[in-house]
A and B are shown apart, each in its own frame.
Chain A
Amino acid sequence: MIELHLIILAIVVSFGFVFSYLAMKEHDLLKALALSSVQSTFFALGFYILAAPDIVLAYLAIAVGAYTALIILAISKTERYEVGE
């Protein structure tokens, strides 16, 4: 009834979900950025299983490469630690 690739999809997206939660809870912005790029990698796998290879190519390069670099540059212009109340 449920095929193998759907099970893999569920697992991969669940991992992405967990990592996005961890990224939101992290107060060290650089660590949060690393967690968020791990989440992007899992989502890219999910897109691949959903048969959208052109999205995977763009998503990996943007979400893991360019987005991370932009946010690192932005963090370098502010402070590394998020100070909560």
Chain B
Amino acid sequence: MKRDAIVAIFFLLAFLFVSYAVTVKNVLGLGEAELRPLGEFYLSHSFAHEGLTSHSPEVVTAIVWNYRGFDTLFETFVFFLAIMGALSVLRLTEEQAKIVREIEGREPHRRMDIIVRATTKLVVIMIVSISASIALHGHITPGGGFQGGSAMAVAALLLFAAFSKFTLERKGLTLGHTMSAYAIGLALIMVTVLAPLFLYGGKILEINLLPGEMGLFNLDVGEYTAVTFGFLTVFLILGIPEWIFKNVLRREMND
């Protein structure tokens, strides 16, 4: 343990030395680099109160105002690949899913005590409202569909931990339902992306043709739904205990 502490302190000192050399002593010559005129323009105008401004407190949003949709589209692609990977590795056939449900139904349902459950209920309501505000405001303030959706997934996870997977499934959050909701989110994104092409004769994803801020708002809502239920799908599949999984696979091998 003493040697660990020495190593840690040594690393910390090296880190501080490098940061000191780069920032104060300007070893790499970064400090003298002048800001380009374009960068200076964005930094001074993105949150200005008059003139050319996008009224965005966030410089990234100001720069990529029109490209935010692009950002969302690729986030969706990456997330889709991840979900499909998880589903194809951990998939179950209909009979296997039935066996899993049978075995899980015979298990005793363990829940946390009442203090944890009551607190979780309160916290979950707060997280859901905050995630909605992040996602539905995403086209104006920092945030967006992905951020809001992942916060919402955390709320679902808390329910998952404090109650049980079984409780969630009894309330209607079964695998089929979450996957359908995920598909609805993806469909909303696809419609928004393709609408300018068919309705206004523009290009794909030219969402500034849509009336008002509808384009970015629709993308945010679609992404919010897709990310929330995508995460939930993965957690519902991973939440099946390992010994049940092994049991099912062993039956498959015996057949």
A-side residues, CB < 8 A to B, are 1-2, 6, 10, 14, 17-18, 21-22, 25, 51-54, 56-58, 61-62, 64-66, 69-70, 73-74, 76-77
Q: Which residue of B lies closest to A68 (CB)?
A: B157
| Cβ-defined contact, A57 with B151, below 8 A | yes
Mask of B47-82 contacts with A, CB within 8 angstroms, 1/0: 000000000011111000000000000000000000
13 A-B contacts, Cβ less than 8 Å apart? A17-B12, A25-B4, A51-B59, A53-B143, A54-B144, A56-B142, A57-B142, A58-B150, A65-B150, A65-B153, A66-B154, A70-B238, A76-B241
* A58 and B146 contact, Cβ closer than 8 Å, known pairs A14-B16, A65-B154: yes
A54 to B239, CA, bound (A): 29
A62 to B239, CA, bound (A): 18
By a CB distance below 8 angstroms, the chain B residues around A17 are 11-12, 15
| Cβ-defined contact, A57 with B235, below 8 A | no
| Cβ-defined contact, B58 with A53, below 8 A | yes
11 other A-B residue contacts (CB within 8 Å) besides A18-B12, A69-B160, A77-B242:
A21-B7, A51-B59, A53-B57, A61-B147, A61-B153, A66-B157, A66-B231, A70-B234, A70-B235, A73-B239, A74-B238
Minimum Cβ distance to chain A for residue B127 (Å) = 9
Question: Which 4 pairs from chain A and chain B are nearest by CB?
Answer: A65-B154, A53-B142, A61-B150, A57-B147
By a CB distance below 8 angstroms, the chain A residues around B154 are 61, 64-66
B204 within 8 A of A: no
Minimum Cβ distance to chain A for residue B173 (Å) = 16
Of A2, A6, A18, A69, chain B has the most CB atoms within 10 Å of the CB of A69
* A14 and B12 contact, Cβ closer than 8 Å, known pairs A57-B142, A58-B147: yes
| Cβ-defined contact, A66 with B150, below 8 A | yes
By a CB distance below 8 angstroms, the chain A residues around B146 are 58
Mask of B125-161 contacts with A, CB within 8 angstroms, 1/0: 0000000001000000011101110110110010011
| Cβ-defined contact, A61 with B58, below 8 A | no
Q: Which residue of A lies closest to B1 (CB)?
A: A25
By a CB distance below 8 angstroms, the chain A residues around B241 are 76
A58 to B60, CA, bound (A): 14
A65 to B143, CA, bound (A): 17
By a CB distance below 8 angstroms, the chain B residues around A76 are 241-242
Neighbour of B157 across the interface among A10, A25, A69, A77, CB < 8 A: A69
| Cβ-defined contact, A65 with B157, below 8 A | yes
* A10 and B238 contact, Cβ closer than 8 Å, known pairs A21-B8, A52-B60: no
A62 to B227, CA, bound (A): 11
Mask of B3-38 contacts with A, CB within 8 angstroms, 1/0: 010011001100110010001100000000000000
Minimum Cβ distance to chain B for residue A27 (Å) = 12
Minimum Cβ distance to chain A for residue B3 (Å) = 10
| Cβ-defined contact, B60 with A62, below 8 A | no
| Cβ-defined contact, A54 with B151, below 8 A | no
Q: Which residue of B lies closest to A62 (CB)?
A: B150
